[in-house]
């Protein structure tokens, strides 16, 4: 199936950012508990987030997957990721009124947290390159049900100004193919705006037709205005066997 993936930016940040959110941001965006973090996790797209490094350092088992890992040598990727973090922070400073300054006190704290996360990412991808797997949605290089929990932040919905509805449906089905348990997707709003993806209800119906139940759940994270919900997807298992007839 072909997808309308138009790389030309129409709104917001411009070219898609390779961003570097921290473990604390992931915990808050996805309502992650310590039990969640003890599961096998796929982070797709992993970008230059510090999440994989931080959780594995705590004894977890996280794999990151992103198409950005295809084209660049590790050293070059680390350099690009730092430059991308600075680009993201410049955008946020220039549009500070679009953000809720409670998770981060101000743009300086945002810069400090993201810089620390990207440095963790850069060090980790050099030390453990096999944790960072090149892949391009809607097709992932993993077997069925390879992970307990799959996380996906700031690609789906965020970039719906250039990724069409079919891409969203196919990407979620693929992320669910590799998920034994849940998929959590954050946020539901378009990058650079506080507008929710307008076809969420239609997507939930489409997913249900593929035996995937989706539920919109509020989270604690507050940063981009209007972005405080995630989509949680679970497999719809076959119906429980009918109760035996009464004696």
Ligand X SMILES: C[S@@+](CC[C@H](N)C(=O)[O-])C[C@H]1O[C@@H](n2cnc3c(N)ncnc32)[C@H](O)[C@@H]1O
Question: Contacting ligand X (CB under 6 A), which of 137, 172, 178, 183?
Answer: 137
- The residues with which 182 forms a beta bridge, in sequence order, are 149
Q: Which is nearer to ligand X, 8 or 244 (CB)?
A: 8
Phi, psi of 245 (to 5 degrees): -60, 150
Which one among 23, 41, 49, 77 touches ligand X, defined by CB under 6 A? 49
d(CA 215, CA 203): 11
Residue 22 or 208 having the CB closest to ligand X: 22
Alpha helices in 58-159 (DSSP H): 68-71, 74-94, 107-127
CB 50 within 8 A of CB 228: no
Give the one residue of 12, 36, 37, 66 binding ligand X; rule: CB under 6 A: 66
Q: Token pair of 3, please?
A: 């997808």
* CB-based contact 102:221 (threshold 8 Å): no
Interface with ligand X, residue 16, by CB under 6 A: yes
Q: Which of 39, 87, 93, 136 binds ligand X (CB under 6 A)?
A: 136
| Binding of ligand X by 45 (CB under 6 A) | yes
Residue 52 binds ligand X, judged by CB under 6 A: no
For residue 57, give the 3-state DSSP assignment: helix
Beta-carbon contacts of residue 41 (< 8 Å; ≥ 6 apart) = 55, 60, 61, 62, 63, 147, 148, 149, 150, 151
Binding region for ligand X (CB under 6 A) out of 65-73, 177-185, 193-201, 222-230: 65-73
How many chain residues bind ligand X (CB under 6 A)?
18
68 binds ligand X (CB under 6 A): yes
- 153 is an interface residue for ligand X by CB under 6 A: yes
How near is the Cβ of 78 to ligand X at its closest, in Å? 13
Which string of b and e fits 134-156 if b means at least 16 CB within 10 Å? Answer: ebbbbebebeeebbbbbbbbbbb
Q: Does 18 bind ligand X (CB under 6 A)?
A: yes
Instruction: Tell whether residue 19 is a contact of ligand X (CB under 6 A).
Output: yes
Based on the shown chain and the rule CB under 6 A, indicate whether residue 17 belongs to the binding site for ligand X: yes
Q: DSSP E strands: which ranges in 160-219?
A: 179-186, 212-218
Residue 77 found at the interface with ligand X (CB under 6 A) = no
Instruction: Out of 23, 32, 41, 47, name the contact with ligand X by CB under 6 A.
Output: 47
Residue 82, interface with ligand X (CB under 6 A)?
Answer: no
State the nearest-atom distance from the C-beta of 237 to ligand X, in Å: 28
- The single-letter DSSP state of residue 131 is G
Q: Which of 9, 40, 67, 161 binds ligand X (CB under 6 A)?
A: 67
Which stretches of the chain bind ligand X, using CB under 6 A? Answer: 16-21, 45, 47, 49, 66-68, 135-137, 153-155
């Amino acid at each position: 199936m072909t997808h309308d993936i138009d790389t030309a930016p129409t709104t917001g940040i411009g070219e898609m950012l390779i961003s570097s959110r921290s473990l604390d941001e992931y915990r808050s965006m996805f309502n992650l508990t310590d039990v969640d973090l003890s599961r096998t996790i796929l982070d797709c797209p992993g970008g230059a987030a510090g999440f994989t490094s931080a959780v594995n350092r705590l004894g977890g088992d996280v794999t990151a997957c992103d198409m950005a890992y295809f084209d660049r040598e590790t050293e070059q990727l680390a350099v690009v990721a730092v430059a991308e973090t600075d680009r993201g922070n410049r955008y946020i400073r220039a549009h500070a009124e679009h953000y809720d300054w409670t998770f981060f006190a101000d743009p300086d704290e945002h810069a400090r947290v993201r810089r620390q996360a990207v440095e963790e990412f850069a060090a980790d991808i050099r030390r453990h390159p096999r944790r960072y797997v090149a892949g391009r949605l809607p097709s992932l290089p993993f077997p069925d049900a390879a992970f307990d929990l799959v996380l996906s932040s700031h690609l789906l919905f965020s970039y719906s100004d250039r990724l069409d509805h079919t891409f969203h449906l196919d990407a979620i089905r693929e992320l669910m193919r590799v998920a034994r348990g849940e998929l959590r997707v954050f946020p539901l709003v378009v990058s650079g705006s506080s507008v929710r993806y307008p076809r969420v209800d239609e997507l939930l119906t489409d997913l249900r037709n593929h035996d995937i139940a989706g539920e919109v759940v509020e989270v604690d994270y507050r940063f981009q205005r209007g972005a405080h919900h995630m989509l949680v997807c679970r497999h719809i298992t076959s119906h429980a066997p009918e109760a035996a007839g009464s004696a």
